[in-house]
């Protein structure tokens, strides 16, 4: 069975991300979550915070065998380093497919040994994005339906609540 890398921004991790890892965990020998460090983006949570949040979210879901690390570099390079041959990503509504296809085509040019595998989002998470979670939080809304408890608490703290 193959090893899969699940890369993303995860700013913050949502229930959609955790669900994807849980389902990927059944398909692959190992799943490694890779929190992307993008120096051109100004994230709400630092890379170290996103790593910690994803770890805590997985713990909350009872997952103990998924590694979470941060990475500033090419996805194909972190795949090679951890011995992964699969990039696992999720497909929601709208533009995900087109965006994913161009990423996958470029990754294949960079390393033909790495395949992209997509899982369809569960229906209840189809419209769920980290961007909308950040926006709702900024406006004081309740995001507990969309993110693990640890993430909801971290968002409250970040937004100046308790
Ligand atoms: P990126 O900036 O790399 O798109 P994201 O953190 O937004 O990072 O998403 C990481 C991966 O998780 C992507 O493959 C995305 O399609 C998937 N994903 C995000 N939200 C959901 C969701 N609600 N359901 C299923 N997959 C999702």
Q: Which of 7, 17, 126 most suits a substitution to test ligand 1, by most atoms within 8 Å of the C-beta?
A: 17
pLDDT tens digits, residue range 17-50?
A: 999 999 999 999 999 999 999 878 899 999 999 9
C-alpha 160 – ligand 1 centre gap (Å): 26
pLDDT at position 99 is 92
Q: Please tell me the distance from the alpha carbon of residue 106 to that of residue 81, in angstroms, as a whole number.
A: 19
pLDDT at position 34 is 98
pLDDT at position 143 is 97
pLDDT at position 95 is 84
pLDDT at position 161 is 63
**CA 105 to chain CA centroid, nearest Å:** 20
pLDDT at position 162 is 56
Q: How many domains does the chain have?
A: 1
How many helices (H) and strands (E) in the chain? 6, 5
Give the domain extent around 22.
3-158
Q: Catalytic residue at 80?
A: no
For the chain, 162 residues long, the average pLDDT of each consecutive 10-residue run is 96 98 97 92 95 98 96 97 98 88 95 96 95 96 97 94 60
CATH code of the domain covering residue 57: 3.40.50.620
Residue 88: partners with Cβ closer than 8 Å, 6 or more residues away: 4, 5, 6, 20, 24, 28, 31, 117, 118, 119
pLDDT at position 21 is 98
**Whose CA is closest to atom 23 on ligand 1?**
16
Which of 41, 102, 109, 162 is labelled catalytic? 41
**CA 73 to chain CA centroid, nearest Å:** 16
Task: Give the pairing type, strands 3-8 and 30-36.
Answer: parallel
CA distances from 72 to 55, 108, 128, 135 (A): 18, 19, 25, 26
């Amino acid at each position: 069975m193959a090893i899969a890398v699940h890369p993303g921004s995860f700013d913050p991790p949502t229930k959609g991300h955790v669900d994807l890892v849980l389902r990927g965990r059944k398909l692959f020998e190992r799943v490694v979550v890779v929190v992307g460090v993008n120096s051109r983006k100004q994230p709400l949570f630092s890379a170290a915070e996103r790593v910690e949040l994803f770890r805590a979210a997985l713990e909350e879901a009872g997952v103990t065998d998924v590694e979470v690390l941060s990475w500033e570099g090419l996805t194909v390079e972190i795949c090679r380093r951890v011995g992964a041959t699969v990039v696992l990503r999720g497909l929601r509504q709208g533009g995900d497919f087109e965006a994913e296809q161009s990423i996958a085509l470029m990754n294949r040019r960079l390393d033909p040994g790495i395949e992209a595998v997509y899982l369809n989002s569960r229906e209840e998470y189809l419209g769920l994005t980290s961007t909308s979670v950040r926006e709702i939080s900024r406006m004081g809304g309740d995001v507990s339906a969309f993110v693990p408890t640890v993430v909801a608490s971290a968002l409250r703290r970040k937004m100046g609540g308790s």
